[in-house]
Structure 1
Protein backbone atom coordinates (compact mmCIF):
# COMPACT_ATOMS: atom_id res chain seq x y z
CA UNK A 1 0.00 0.00 0.00
CA UNK A 2 1.27 3.48 -0.89
CA UNK A 3 2.76 5.07 2.22
CA UNK A 4 2.32 8.51 3.70
CA UNK A 5 6.06 8.97 3.28
CA UNK A 6 5.66 8.59 -0.47
CA UNK A 7 3.16 11.44 -0.56
CA UNK A 8 5.45 13.65 1.51
CA UNK A 9 8.39 12.93 -0.79
CA UNK A 10 6.37 13.76 -3.91
CA UNK A 11 5.24 17.01 -2.31
CA UNK A 12 8.86 17.91 -1.56
CA UNK A 13 9.89 17.05 -5.10
CA UNK A 14 7.07 18.97 -6.77
CA UNK A 15 6.91 22.06 -4.56
CA UNK A 16 9.74 24.01 -6.26
CA UNK A 17 7.93 23.66 -9.61
CA UNK A 18 4.73 25.04 -8.10
CA UNK A 19 6.65 27.78 -6.28
CA UNK A 20 7.89 29.28 -9.54
CA UNK A 21 4.56 31.10 -9.35
CA UNK A 22 5.89 33.12 -6.44
CA UNK A 23 9.66 33.29 -6.78
CA UNK A 24 10.45 33.41 -10.51
CA UNK A 25 11.12 36.80 -12.07
CA UNK A 26 8.97 35.74 -14.99
CA UNK A 27 5.96 35.26 -12.70
CA UNK A 28 6.36 38.73 -11.23
CA UNK A 29 6.79 40.21 -14.69
CA UNK A 30 3.64 38.46 -15.90
CA UNK A 31 1.76 39.83 -12.90
CA UNK A 32 3.00 43.34 -13.59
CA UNK A 33 2.03 43.05 -17.25
CA UNK A 34 -1.47 42.09 -16.15
CA UNK A 35 -1.71 45.15 -13.90
CA UNK A 36 -0.44 43.96 -10.52
CA UNK A 37 2.21 45.72 -8.48
CA UNK A 38 4.51 44.24 -5.83
CA UNK A 39 5.29 40.72 -4.63
CA UNK A 40 2.38 40.28 -2.26
CA UNK A 41 -0.35 41.67 -4.50
CA UNK A 42 0.89 39.30 -7.19
CA UNK A 43 1.02 36.41 -4.73
CA UNK A 44 -2.52 36.86 -3.48
CA UNK A 45 -3.99 37.47 -6.92
CA UNK A 46 -2.31 34.50 -8.59
CA UNK A 47 -2.94 32.05 -5.76
CA UNK A 48 -6.51 33.15 -5.03
CA UNK A 49 -7.57 33.54 -8.68
CA UNK A 50 -9.09 30.02 -8.93
CA UNK A 51 -11.54 31.03 -6.18
CA UNK A 52 -12.88 33.96 -8.20
CA UNK A 53 -13.06 37.62 -7.04
CA UNK A 54 -13.38 36.74 -3.35
CA UNK A 55 -12.89 39.16 -0.49
CA UNK A 56 -10.29 39.20 2.27
CA UNK A 57 -12.30 37.04 4.67
CA UNK A 58 -12.44 34.13 2.23
CA UNK A 59 -8.75 34.43 1.34
CA UNK A 60 -7.77 34.64 5.01
CA UNK A 61 -9.88 31.59 5.84
CA UNK A 62 -8.65 29.55 2.87
CA UNK A 63 -4.98 30.42 3.24
CA UNK A 64 -5.34 29.98 7.03
CA UNK A 65 -2.05 31.30 8.36
CA UNK A 66 -1.92 34.92 7.15
CA UNK A 67 -2.84 37.81 9.43
CA UNK A 68 -6.24 39.22 8.39
CA UNK A 69 -4.93 42.79 8.16
CA UNK A 70 -2.03 41.62 5.98
CA UNK A 71 -4.49 40.05 3.54
CA UNK A 72 -6.86 43.03 3.64
CA UNK A 73 -4.10 45.36 2.48
CA UNK A 74 -4.12 43.51 -0.86
CA UNK A 75 -7.55 41.91 -1.18
CA UNK A 76 -9.98 42.91 -2.65
CA UNK A 77 -7.87 45.70 -4.20
CA UNK A 78 -6.09 43.19 -6.45
CA UNK A 79 -9.39 42.58 -8.25
CA UNK A 80 -9.51 46.26 -9.21
CA UNK A 81 -6.17 45.77 -10.95
CA UNK A 82 -6.80 42.40 -12.58
CA UNK A 83 -9.67 39.98 -13.05
CA UNK A 84 -9.28 36.43 -11.76
CA UNK A 85 -9.34 35.23 -15.37
CA UNK A 86 -6.46 37.53 -16.27
CA UNK A 87 -4.58 36.45 -13.14
CA UNK A 88 -4.94 32.81 -14.17
CA UNK A 89 -3.52 33.66 -17.59
CA UNK A 90 -0.67 35.59 -15.97
CA UNK A 91 0.37 32.78 -13.68
CA UNK A 92 0.51 30.30 -16.56
CA UNK A 93 2.47 32.79 -18.67
CA UNK A 94 4.96 33.33 -15.85
CA UNK A 95 5.44 29.62 -15.19
CA UNK A 96 5.75 28.93 -18.91
CA UNK A 97 8.53 31.50 -19.32
CA UNK A 98 10.34 30.37 -16.16
CA UNK A 99 10.26 26.68 -17.08
CA UNK A 100 11.49 27.36 -20.60
CA UNK A 101 14.39 29.40 -19.23
CA UNK A 102 15.40 26.98 -16.50
CA UNK A 103 14.63 23.63 -18.14
CA UNK A 104 14.87 24.47 -21.84
CA UNK A 105 13.95 21.61 -24.16
CA UNK A 106 12.63 19.52 -21.28
CA UNK A 107 9.35 21.47 -21.51
CA UNK A 108 8.42 19.63 -24.70
CA UNK A 109 10.10 16.33 -23.86
CA UNK A 110 8.53 12.88 -23.51
CA UNK A 111 9.54 13.00 -19.84
CA UNK A 112 7.49 16.16 -19.29
CA UNK A 113 4.49 14.57 -21.00
CA UNK A 114 4.83 11.40 -18.94
CA UNK A 115 5.13 13.34 -15.69
CA UNK A 116 2.10 15.43 -16.61
CA UNK A 117 0.07 12.30 -17.31
CA UNK A 118 0.95 10.74 -13.97
CA UNK A 119 0.32 13.91 -11.98
CA UNK A 120 -2.96 14.42 -13.80
CA UNK A 121 -4.15 10.94 -12.81
CA UNK A 122 -3.55 11.80 -9.16
CA UNK A 123 -5.03 15.29 -9.37
CA UNK A 124 -8.21 14.02 -11.00
CA UNK A 125 -9.16 12.07 -7.88
CA UNK A 126 -8.51 14.66 -5.15
CA UNK A 127 -11.32 14.64 -2.60
CA UNK A 128 -12.79 18.14 -2.69
CA UNK A 129 -15.13 18.37 0.36
CA UNK A 130 -13.64 20.76 2.91
CA UNK A 131 -10.76 21.62 0.57
CA UNK A 132 -11.55 24.94 -1.15
CA UNK A 133 -8.19 25.59 -2.80
CA UNK A 134 -7.90 22.03 -4.09
CA UNK A 135 -11.45 22.13 -5.45
CA UNK A 136 -10.94 25.50 -7.13
CA UNK A 137 -7.75 24.35 -8.85
CA UNK A 138 -9.20 20.97 -9.79
CA UNK A 139 -12.00 22.79 -11.59
CA UNK A 140 -9.62 24.60 -13.95
CA UNK A 141 -8.96 23.24 -17.45
CA UNK A 142 -5.63 21.50 -17.82
CA UNK A 143 -3.31 23.30 -20.27
CA UNK A 144 -2.27 21.49 -23.44
CA UNK A 145 1.48 22.01 -22.99
CA UNK A 146 2.97 19.17 -20.90
CA UNK A 147 5.02 21.37 -18.57
CA UNK A 148 2.01 23.57 -17.81
CA UNK A 149 -0.28 20.57 -17.38
CA UNK A 150 2.26 19.16 -14.90
CA UNK A 151 2.42 22.48 -13.06
CA UNK A 152 -1.38 22.71 -12.81
CA UNK A 153 -1.70 19.13 -11.60
CA UNK A 154 0.98 19.46 -8.90
CA UNK A 155 -0.57 22.79 -7.88
CA UNK A 156 -3.92 21.07 -7.33
CA UNK A 157 -2.19 18.33 -5.35
CA UNK A 158 -0.21 20.72 -3.15
CA UNK A 159 -3.30 22.81 -2.40
CA UNK A 160 -5.09 19.56 -1.55
CA UNK A 161 -2.31 18.79 0.90
CA UNK A 162 -2.42 22.31 2.30
CA UNK A 163 -6.17 22.16 2.84
CA UNK A 164 -5.65 18.92 4.77
CA UNK A 165 -2.89 20.51 6.83
CA UNK A 166 -5.25 23.33 7.77
CA UNK A 167 -7.82 20.75 8.86
CA UNK A 168 -5.19 19.04 11.04
CA UNK A 169 -4.35 22.37 12.67
CA UNK A 170 -7.99 23.30 13.14
CA UNK A 171 -8.82 19.94 14.71
CA UNK A 172 -6.23 20.69 17.41
CA UNK A 173 -7.31 24.33 17.76
CA UNK A 174 -3.99 25.66 16.47
CA UNK A 175 -4.47 29.15 15.06
CA UNK A 176 -2.51 30.72 12.22
CA UNK A 177 -0.04 32.56 14.46
CA UNK A 178 0.26 29.56 16.78
CA UNK A 179 1.19 27.36 13.83
CA UNK A 180 4.08 29.70 13.06
CA UNK A 181 5.17 29.86 16.68
CA UNK A 182 5.43 26.07 16.64
CA UNK A 183 7.47 26.12 13.44
CA UNK A 184 9.85 28.68 14.93
CA UNK A 185 10.07 26.75 18.20
CA UNK A 186 11.04 23.66 16.24
CA UNK A 187 13.88 25.64 14.64
CA UNK A 188 12.61 25.18 11.08
CA UNK A 189 12.22 28.89 10.21
CA UNK A 190 13.12 31.92 12.31
CA UNK A 191 10.49 34.09 13.94
CA UNK A 192 11.47 37.33 12.19
CA UNK A 193 11.05 35.80 8.75
CA UNK A 194 7.73 34.14 9.58
CA UNK A 195 6.26 37.33 11.00
CA UNK A 196 7.37 39.29 7.96
CA UNK A 197 6.08 36.71 5.50
CA UNK A 198 2.68 36.21 7.15
CA UNK A 199 1.98 39.60 8.67
CA UNK A 200 1.63 38.75 12.37
CA UNK A 201 2.70 41.52 14.76
CA UNK A 202 4.51 41.05 18.08
CA UNK A 203 1.28 41.17 20.09
CA UNK A 204 -0.27 38.31 18.08
CA UNK A 205 2.97 36.31 18.33
CA UNK A 206 3.20 36.84 22.09
CA UNK A 207 -0.45 35.90 22.60
CA UNK A 208 0.03 32.69 20.61
CA UNK A 209 3.21 31.91 22.55
CA UNK A 210 1.42 32.39 25.87
CA UNK A 211 -1.48 30.21 24.74
CA UNK A 212 0.82 27.37 23.64
CA UNK A 213 2.86 27.65 26.82
CA UNK A 214 -0.33 27.35 28.82
CA UNK A 215 -1.20 24.20 26.92
CA UNK A 216 2.18 22.73 27.78
CA UNK A 217 3.44 22.71 24.21
CA UNK A 218 6.32 25.14 24.76
CA UNK A 219 9.13 25.11 27.30
CA UNK A 220 11.44 28.15 27.52
CA UNK A 221 10.51 29.11 23.97
CA UNK A 222 11.23 25.67 22.51
CA UNK A 223 9.01 22.69 21.96
CA UNK A 224 8.24 20.67 25.06
CA UNK A 225 7.92 16.91 24.83
CA UNK A 226 4.16 17.34 24.44
CA UNK A 227 4.66 20.05 21.84
CA UNK A 228 6.97 17.82 19.84
CA UNK A 229 4.45 14.99 20.03
CA UNK A 230 1.62 17.25 18.87
CA UNK A 231 3.55 18.79 15.97
CA UNK A 232 4.59 15.30 14.91
CA UNK A 233 0.94 14.23 15.04
CA UNK A 234 -0.13 17.23 12.97
CA UNK A 235 2.41 16.37 10.28
CA UNK A 236 1.37 12.72 10.36
CA UNK A 237 -2.28 13.71 9.90
CA UNK A 238 -1.30 16.04 7.07
CA UNK A 239 0.48 13.17 5.32
CA UNK A 240 -2.47 10.82 5.91
CA UNK A 241 -5.07 13.29 4.63
CA UNK A 242 -2.97 13.92 1.51
CA UNK A 243 -2.60 10.25 0.64
CA UNK A 244 -5.75 9.55 -1.37
CA UNK A 245 -4.56 10.77 -4.79
CA UNK A 246 -1.24 8.98 -4.42
CA UNK A 247 -2.95 5.71 -3.55
CA UNK A 248 -4.96 6.06 -6.74
CA UNK A 249 -1.71 6.42 -8.67
CA UNK A 250 -0.17 3.40 -6.96
CA UNK A 251 3.39 2.65 -5.90
CA UNK A 252 4.69 2.16 -9.41
CA UNK A 253 3.18 5.40 -10.66
CA UNK A 254 4.38 7.32 -7.60
CA UNK A 255 7.91 5.98 -7.95
CA UNK A 256 8.03 6.88 -11.62
CA UNK A 257 6.67 10.38 -11.02
CA UNK A 258 9.30 10.86 -8.33
CA UNK A 259 12.03 9.86 -10.77
CA UNK A 260 10.72 12.33 -13.34
CA UNK A 261 10.47 15.18 -10.82
CA UNK A 262 14.01 14.84 -9.44
CA UNK A 263 15.76 16.70 -12.32
CA UNK A 264 12.98 19.31 -12.42
CA UNK A 265 13.41 20.04 -8.74
CA UNK A 266 17.19 20.10 -9.06
CA UNK A 267 17.07 22.58 -11.94
CA UNK A 268 14.71 24.97 -10.14
CA UNK A 269 16.73 24.89 -6.91
CA UNK A 270 20.05 25.25 -8.76
CA UNK A 271 18.68 28.28 -10.59
CA UNK A 272 18.04 29.94 -7.23
CA UNK A 273 14.27 30.00 -7.69
CA UNK A 274 13.45 28.20 -4.44
CA UNK A 275 15.05 30.36 -1.74
CA UNK A 276 16.56 28.96 1.44
CA UNK A 277 14.43 31.27 3.56
CA UNK A 278 10.82 30.59 2.76
CA UNK A 279 7.77 29.75 4.89
CA UNK A 280 6.52 26.91 2.68
CA UNK A 281 7.99 24.12 4.79
CA UNK A 282 10.18 22.32 2.24
CA UNK A 283 13.91 22.88 2.44
CA UNK A 284 15.85 23.32 -0.82
CA UNK A 285 17.90 20.21 0.00
CA UNK A 286 14.85 18.06 0.85
CA UNK A 287 14.00 14.91 -1.08
Structure 2
Protein backbone atom coordinates (compact mmCIF):
# COMPACT_ATOMS: atom_id res chain seq x y z
CA UNK A 1 0.00 0.00 0.00
CA UNK A 2 1.29 3.41 -0.90
CA UNK A 3 1.51 5.61 2.17
CA UNK A 4 -0.64 8.21 0.44
CA UNK A 5 -3.53 5.74 0.03
CA UNK A 6 -4.24 5.58 3.78
CA UNK A 7 -2.89 3.83 6.87
CA UNK A 8 -0.34 1.12 6.22
CA UNK A 9 -0.91 -2.38 7.54
CA UNK A 10 1.69 -1.71 10.24
CA UNK A 11 -0.33 1.28 11.46
CA UNK A 12 -3.62 -0.59 11.16
CA UNK A 13 -2.23 -3.39 13.31
CA UNK A 14 -1.10 -0.87 15.92
CA UNK A 15 -4.51 0.77 15.84
CA UNK A 16 -6.40 -2.51 16.23
CA UNK A 17 -4.19 -3.59 19.11
CA UNK A 18 -4.23 -0.27 20.97
CA UNK A 19 -7.62 -0.29 22.75
CA UNK A 20 -7.31 -3.99 23.58
CA UNK A 21 -3.94 -3.49 25.30
CA UNK A 22 -3.78 0.24 26.06
CA UNK A 23 -6.92 -0.22 28.16
CA UNK A 24 -4.58 -1.14 31.02
CA UNK A 25 -4.09 2.59 31.66
CA UNK A 26 -7.83 3.22 32.05
CA UNK A 27 -8.88 -0.01 33.74
CA UNK A 28 -10.91 0.54 36.95
CA UNK A 29 -9.55 -2.82 38.09
CA UNK A 30 -6.01 -1.47 37.75
CA UNK A 31 -6.86 1.79 39.49
CA UNK A 32 -8.38 -0.11 42.42
CA UNK A 33 -5.40 -2.46 42.66
CA UNK A 34 -2.96 0.46 42.73
CA UNK A 35 -5.04 2.24 45.37
CA UNK A 36 -4.73 -0.85 47.55
CA UNK A 37 -0.96 -0.38 47.34
CA UNK A 38 -1.24 3.22 48.55
CA UNK A 39 -1.50 5.18 45.31
CA UNK A 40 -4.30 7.66 44.75
CA UNK A 41 -7.36 6.27 42.95
CA UNK A 42 -8.45 7.62 39.62
CA UNK A 43 -9.70 11.14 40.26
CA UNK A 44 -10.51 12.32 36.75
CA UNK A 45 -12.23 11.00 33.66
CA UNK A 46 -12.59 11.87 30.00
CA UNK A 47 -15.96 11.11 28.41
CA UNK A 48 -16.62 8.49 31.06
CA UNK A 49 -13.19 6.86 30.82
CA UNK A 50 -11.32 6.75 34.14
CA UNK A 51 -7.89 8.39 33.86
CA UNK A 52 -4.85 7.05 35.75
CA UNK A 53 -3.13 8.52 38.76
CA UNK A 54 0.25 9.86 37.60
CA UNK A 55 2.59 8.11 40.05
CA UNK A 56 0.66 4.85 39.63
CA UNK A 57 0.96 5.11 35.84
CA UNK A 58 4.70 5.78 35.80
CA UNK A 59 5.48 3.16 38.43
CA UNK A 60 3.26 0.39 37.07
CA UNK A 61 4.27 0.71 33.45
CA UNK A 62 7.91 1.14 34.41
CA UNK A 63 7.77 -1.97 36.60
CA UNK A 64 8.00 -4.23 33.55
CA UNK A 65 11.69 -3.24 33.44
CA UNK A 66 12.19 -4.12 37.12
CA UNK A 67 12.72 -1.79 40.05
CA UNK A 68 14.56 0.83 38.04
CA UNK A 69 15.05 4.49 38.91
CA UNK A 70 12.78 7.27 37.78
CA UNK A 71 15.52 8.47 35.44
CA UNK A 72 15.41 5.13 33.62
CA UNK A 73 11.62 5.22 33.43
CA UNK A 74 11.70 8.78 32.04
CA UNK A 75 14.27 7.75 29.44
CA UNK A 76 12.26 4.71 28.35
CA UNK A 77 8.94 6.56 28.20
CA UNK A 78 10.82 9.30 26.32
CA UNK A 79 8.12 11.95 25.86
CA UNK A 80 7.44 12.90 29.49
CA UNK A 81 9.21 15.62 31.45
CA UNK A 82 11.64 13.88 33.83
CA UNK A 83 10.77 16.51 36.43
CA UNK A 84 7.37 14.84 36.68
CA UNK A 85 8.47 11.24 36.18
CA UNK A 86 11.40 10.98 38.59
CA UNK A 87 9.62 12.07 41.80
CA UNK A 88 6.56 9.99 40.84
CA UNK A 89 8.61 6.82 40.53
CA UNK A 90 10.64 7.60 43.67
CA UNK A 91 7.36 7.94 45.54
CA UNK A 92 6.03 4.76 43.95
CA UNK A 93 8.96 2.67 45.17
CA UNK A 94 8.24 3.92 48.70
CA UNK A 95 4.81 2.28 48.45
CA UNK A 96 5.56 -0.98 46.69
CA UNK A 97 8.06 -3.01 44.69
CA UNK A 98 8.23 -3.83 41.01
CA UNK A 99 7.01 -7.42 41.24
CA UNK A 100 3.98 -6.47 43.33
CA UNK A 101 2.76 -3.61 41.18
CA UNK A 102 3.54 -5.48 37.96
CA UNK A 103 1.32 -8.31 39.21
CA UNK A 104 -1.41 -5.78 40.06
CA UNK A 105 -1.06 -4.36 36.55
CA UNK A 106 -1.49 -7.80 34.99
CA UNK A 107 -4.50 -8.63 37.11
CA UNK A 108 -6.15 -5.30 36.44
CA UNK A 109 -5.59 -5.41 32.68
CA UNK A 110 -6.84 -8.97 32.35
CA UNK A 111 -9.70 -8.20 34.73
CA UNK A 112 -11.05 -5.45 32.52
CA UNK A 113 -10.70 -7.57 29.38
CA UNK A 114 -12.52 -10.42 31.11
CA UNK A 115 -15.31 -8.11 32.31
CA UNK A 116 -15.86 -6.61 28.85
CA UNK A 117 -15.03 -9.46 26.46
CA UNK A 118 -15.52 -12.53 28.63
CA UNK A 119 -13.00 -15.35 28.85
CA UNK A 120 -13.73 -16.64 25.33
CA UNK A 121 -14.15 -13.72 22.93
CA UNK A 122 -14.62 -14.78 19.34
CA UNK A 123 -11.29 -15.77 17.83
CA UNK A 124 -9.47 -15.92 21.19
CA UNK A 125 -7.31 -18.94 20.43
CA UNK A 126 -6.42 -17.69 16.95
CA UNK A 127 -5.45 -14.26 18.28
CA UNK A 128 -3.26 -15.89 20.91
CA UNK A 129 -1.64 -18.10 18.25
CA UNK A 130 -0.89 -15.14 15.98
CA UNK A 131 0.44 -12.94 18.78
CA UNK A 132 2.76 -15.72 19.93
CA UNK A 133 3.97 -16.16 16.37
CA UNK A 134 4.54 -12.41 16.08
CA UNK A 135 6.53 -12.13 19.30
CA UNK A 136 8.34 -15.40 19.95
CA UNK A 137 12.06 -14.74 19.63
CA UNK A 138 11.47 -11.11 18.65
CA UNK A 139 14.74 -9.23 19.05
CA UNK A 140 14.40 -6.36 21.50
CA UNK A 141 17.86 -4.78 21.42
CA UNK A 142 17.58 -1.05 22.08
CA UNK A 143 13.91 -1.41 23.02
CA UNK A 144 13.75 -1.09 26.82
CA UNK A 145 10.02 -1.45 27.42
CA UNK A 146 9.63 -4.29 24.96
CA UNK A 147 12.63 -5.98 26.54
CA UNK A 148 11.06 -5.66 29.97
CA UNK A 149 7.78 -7.21 28.86
CA UNK A 150 9.55 -9.97 26.96
CA UNK A 151 11.21 -11.12 30.19
CA UNK A 152 7.87 -11.68 31.94
CA UNK A 153 6.00 -15.00 31.85
CA UNK A 154 2.60 -15.31 30.23
CA UNK A 155 -0.06 -15.04 32.97
CA UNK A 156 -1.98 -18.21 33.77
CA UNK A 157 -5.38 -17.03 32.56
CA UNK A 158 -7.45 -17.69 29.42
CA UNK A 159 -6.57 -14.18 28.23
CA UNK A 160 -3.07 -14.16 29.71
CA UNK A 161 -1.15 -14.91 26.52
CA UNK A 162 -3.09 -12.27 24.59
CA UNK A 163 -2.47 -9.64 27.25
CA UNK A 164 1.26 -10.34 27.59
CA UNK A 165 2.11 -10.75 23.93
CA UNK A 166 -0.10 -7.83 22.96
CA UNK A 167 1.63 -5.62 25.52
CA UNK A 168 4.99 -6.71 24.15
CA UNK A 169 3.93 -5.87 20.60
CA UNK A 170 2.54 -2.49 21.66
CA UNK A 171 5.73 -1.54 23.51
CA UNK A 172 7.86 -2.84 20.63
CA UNK A 173 6.16 -0.44 18.25
CA UNK A 174 6.43 2.37 20.80
CA UNK A 175 10.15 1.77 21.30
CA UNK A 176 10.60 1.76 17.52
CA UNK A 177 8.77 5.06 17.25
CA UNK A 178 11.01 6.60 19.90
CA UNK A 179 14.08 5.40 18.02
CA UNK A 180 12.69 6.92 14.82
CA UNK A 181 12.23 10.43 16.20
CA UNK A 182 15.52 10.31 18.10
CA UNK A 183 17.15 9.33 14.83
CA UNK A 184 15.58 12.41 13.25
CA UNK A 185 17.48 14.53 15.82
CA UNK A 186 14.35 15.59 17.72
CA UNK A 187 13.78 15.82 21.45
CA UNK A 188 10.64 15.16 23.48
CA UNK A 189 9.19 18.66 23.26
CA UNK A 190 9.94 18.94 19.55
CA UNK A 191 8.29 15.64 18.65
CA UNK A 192 5.28 16.64 20.73
CA UNK A 193 4.82 19.88 18.77
CA UNK A 194 5.29 18.20 15.39
CA UNK A 195 2.94 15.37 16.33
CA UNK A 196 0.11 17.71 17.29
CA UNK A 197 0.44 19.45 13.94
CA UNK A 198 0.57 16.08 12.17
CA UNK A 199 -2.55 14.88 13.97
CA UNK A 200 -4.41 18.15 13.49
CA UNK A 201 -4.71 18.90 17.22
CA UNK A 202 -4.57 22.33 18.86
CA UNK A 203 -1.02 23.34 19.80
CA UNK A 204 0.12 22.24 23.25
CA UNK A 205 -3.02 20.23 23.94
CA UNK A 206 -1.98 16.56 23.83
CA UNK A 207 1.68 17.35 24.53
CA UNK A 208 0.65 19.36 27.59
CA UNK A 209 -0.16 16.05 29.30
CA UNK A 210 3.56 15.27 29.20
CA UNK A 211 4.23 17.97 31.84
CA UNK A 212 6.33 20.40 29.80
CA UNK A 213 6.13 24.13 30.47
CA UNK A 214 5.25 26.94 28.06
CA UNK A 215 8.85 28.12 28.24
CA UNK A 216 10.09 24.71 27.19
CA UNK A 217 7.59 24.59 24.31
CA UNK A 218 8.57 28.12 23.24
CA UNK A 219 12.22 27.10 23.08
CA UNK A 220 11.33 23.93 21.15
CA UNK A 221 9.34 25.88 18.57
CA UNK A 222 12.25 28.24 18.06
CA UNK A 223 14.60 25.30 17.47
CA UNK A 224 12.18 23.81 14.94
CA UNK A 225 11.90 27.14 13.12
CA UNK A 226 15.68 27.41 12.98
CA UNK A 227 15.78 23.99 11.27
CA UNK A 228 13.20 25.07 8.71
CA UNK A 229 10.57 22.66 10.05
CA UNK A 230 8.09 25.29 11.29
CA UNK A 231 6.97 28.61 9.85
CA UNK A 232 6.95 31.86 11.80
CA UNK A 233 3.30 31.08 12.59
CA UNK A 234 4.30 27.66 14.01
CA UNK A 235 2.71 25.69 11.18
CA UNK A 236 4.44 23.00 9.15
CA UNK A 237 6.83 23.85 6.38
CA UNK A 238 6.97 21.28 3.59
CA UNK A 239 10.19 19.98 5.13
CA UNK A 240 8.60 19.73 8.55
CA UNK A 241 5.60 17.78 7.30
CA UNK A 242 7.83 15.44 5.32
CA UNK A 243 10.08 14.81 8.30
CA UNK A 244 7.13 13.99 10.54
CA UNK A 245 5.69 11.58 7.99
CA UNK A 246 9.12 10.00 7.54
CA UNK A 247 9.16 9.19 11.26
CA UNK A 248 6.02 7.09 10.72
CA UNK A 249 7.54 5.47 7.64
CA UNK A 250 10.66 4.58 9.64
CA UNK A 251 8.54 3.19 12.46
CA UNK A 252 6.67 1.03 9.95
CA UNK A 253 9.96 -0.25 8.55
CA UNK A 254 11.14 -1.29 12.01
CA UNK A 255 7.98 -3.40 12.38
CA UNK A 256 9.16 -5.61 9.51
CA UNK A 257 10.21 -8.53 11.79
CA UNK A 258 6.65 -8.71 13.11
CA UNK A 259 5.09 -8.49 9.65
CA UNK A 260 7.45 -11.17 8.36
CA UNK A 261 6.32 -13.53 11.12
CA UNK A 262 2.64 -12.90 10.49
CA UNK A 263 2.75 -12.88 6.69
CA UNK A 264 -0.68 -12.72 5.07
CA UNK A 265 -2.30 -13.56 8.42
CA UNK A 266 -1.74 -10.02 9.67
CA UNK A 267 -5.03 -8.96 8.06
CA UNK A 268 -6.83 -11.72 9.95
CA UNK A 269 -5.30 -10.52 13.21
CA UNK A 270 -6.45 -6.95 12.55
CA UNK A 271 -9.95 -8.21 11.70
CA UNK A 272 -10.16 -10.27 14.90
CA UNK A 273 -8.88 -7.51 17.18
CA UNK A 274 -11.01 -4.71 15.72
CA UNK A 275 -14.38 -5.74 17.24
CA UNK A 276 -12.68 -6.39 20.58
CA UNK A 277 -11.34 -2.86 20.57
CA UNK A 278 -14.76 -1.50 19.67
CA UNK A 279 -16.29 -3.38 22.61
CA UNK A 280 -13.64 -2.02 24.98
CA UNK A 281 -14.36 1.51 23.82
CA UNK A 282 -18.12 1.02 24.06
CA UNK A 283 -17.66 -0.06 27.68
CA UNK A 284 -15.57 3.06 28.42
CA UNK A 285 -12.45 0.96 28.89
CA UNK A 286 -10.45 3.10 26.46
CA UNK A 287 -10.70 6.58 25.00
CA UNK A 288 -13.07 7.07 22.07
CA UNK A 289 -10.20 8.48 20.02
CA UNK A 290 -6.59 7.64 20.85
CA UNK A 291 -3.20 8.34 19.30
CA UNK A 292 -3.48 5.62 16.68
CA UNK A 293 -6.82 6.95 15.46
CA UNK A 294 -5.34 10.42 15.07
CA UNK A 295 -2.29 8.99 13.29
CA UNK A 296 -4.53 7.04 10.90
CA UNK A 297 -6.42 10.21 10.00
CA UNK A 298 -3.12 11.97 9.40
CA UNK A 299 -2.03 9.16 7.09
CA UNK A 300 -5.25 9.48 5.13
CA UNK A 301 -4.73 13.24 4.71
CA UNK A 302 -1.12 12.89 3.63
Please indicate, yes or no, whether the TM-score normalized by the shorter chain is above 0.5: yes
Q: Measured at CA, do residues 94 and 124 of structure 1 come closer, stay the same or move farther in structure 2, by a change above 3 Å?
A: same
The match for 2:108 is 94
Instruction: State the partner residue of 2:15.
Output: 12
Is residue 239 from structure 1 mapped to residue 252 from structure 2 by the alignment?
yes
Are 1:28 and 2:31 matched, yes or no? yes
Identify the match of residue 124 of structure 1 among 136, 149, 155.
136
Unmatched runs of 5 consecutive residues or more in structure 1: none
Shift in alpha-carbon separation, 1:214–1:54, aligned structure 2, 3 A: same
**1:224 partnered with 2:237:** yes
Residue 149 (str. 1) matches residue 161 (str. 2): yes
Give the C-alpha shift of residue 42 in structure 1. 1.5
Pairing 1:80–2:83 present? no
Query: Shift of residue 181 of structure 1?
Result: 0.6
Deviations, residues 163-215 of structure 1 (Å, cap 9, x unaligned):
11111111111100101110122344333432431000001101110000111
What TM-score do you get using the length of structure 2 for normalisation?
A: 0.87
Give the conservation status (yes or no) of the 8 Å contact 2:80–2:188: yes
Quick one: distance in 1 between partners of 2:87 and 2:236? Answer: 33
Q: Is the 8 A contact 2:110 2:163 kept in 1?
A: no
CA distance in 2, matches of 1:189, 1:155: 27
Q: Deviations over 1:112-160 (max 9, x none)?
A: 1221121111111322111111111011101232322111111101111
Structure 2 gaps, min length 5: 42-52
RMSD, matched Cα: 2.3
Q: What is the number of equivalent residue pairs in this alignment? A: 282
- Indicate which of 175, 200, 205 corresponds to 2:212: 200
Superposed displacement of residue 285, structure 1: 8.8
Q: Is the 8 A contact 1:275 1:284 kept in 2?
A: no
Q: Which of 293, 299, 302 in structure 2 is aligned with 1:282?
A: 293
Q: Secondary structure at the match of 2:32?
A: helix
8 Å contact kept, 1:274–1:284: no
Distance of aligned partners of 1:274 and 1:242 in 2 relative to their CA distance in 1, 3 Å threshold: same
1:18-60, Cα deviation, whole Å (9 max, x unpaired): 1111112222112112332251111112211111111121111
